[in-house]
Amino acid sequence: KAGVTQTPRYLIKTRGQQVTLSCSPISGHRSVSWYQQTPGQGLQFLFEYFSETQRNKGNFPGRFSGRQFSNSRSEMNVSTLELGDSALYLCASSRGGAPTNEKLFFGSGTQLSVL
Amino acid sequence: KNEVEQSPQNLTAQEGEFITINCSYSVGISALHWLQQHPGGGIVSLFMLSSGKKKHGRLIATINIQEKHSSLHITASHPRDSAVYICAVTANDYKLSFGAGTTVTVRA
């Protein structure tokens, strides 16, 4: 069974641009959640999607958005990039029962650098 | 103040030693996760627990809901156990909060 796949693995953007990251969950998993990891703030929860609906959201500005498609694949978008958005962005999938009350399977992440 | 506090921040052990990592949290939770992150970023979920104790190989995780405390134990530690161990809690609003992580180094 294939694991969680995130693309691209690395990304370099400049301030003011926007970026879209992709996450393909494990087959049969219906929940996808997104996280930001930085050296200063550690891991922080961005949002969680289930059946194409955002089920929960962390404390990030509206520049951070996401969506989920009918095949459970999810995308995350960051608009008007700032230097502080440089981070490792991770997604995780789960079967999708109680949100975040199940074992999470993480992708390898997308390392975003904003110059 | 962070909702999830881990200790110690760093830990160095000799191969074969018993290792304990502690996690305290300040909010009501429905579940607690122990995660392992190796250099390069990949995160693996080790345990998810809401009560009692779980064991997998040389790893043991315990949680005391009343005291809002969890521990991760590594028995007979090995250099391949060297990683960052992260405690995360699912709060009652289903948002995940993370500890800062414990960097474990096991020397041969």
Among chain A residues, the shortest Cα distance to B47 is held by: A103
pLDDT, tens only, B4-55: 999 999 999 999 999 999 999 998 898 999 999 998 778 999 999 999 999 9
B97 to A45: CB separation less than 8 angstroms, yes or no = yes
B41 to A88: CB separation less than 8 angstroms, yes or no = yes
Mean pLDDT of A97-110: 81
Q: List, as one string, the DSSP characters of A5-44.
A: EEE-SEEEE-TT--EEEEEEPPTT--EEEEEEEETTTEEE
Model pLDDT, residue A103: 85
Probe site for chain A from B36, B43, B44, B97 (most A CB atoms < 10 A): B43
Provide the CA B66 distance to its chain's centre, in angstroms: 18
- How many of the other CB atoms lie within 10 Å of CB of B88? 25
Contacts of A99 in chain B (CB under 8 A): 90, 94
Rounded alpha-carbon distances, angstroms, from residue A37 to A48, A91, A112, B44, B61: 16, 11, 10, 15, 24
Give a three-class secondary structure readout of B4-56: EEEECCEEEEECCCCEEEEEEECCCEEEEEEEEECCCCCEEEEEEECCEEEEE
pLDDT, tens only, A32-51: 999 999 998 999 999 999 99
C-alpha to C-alpha distance for A86 and A84, rounded to whole angstroms: 5
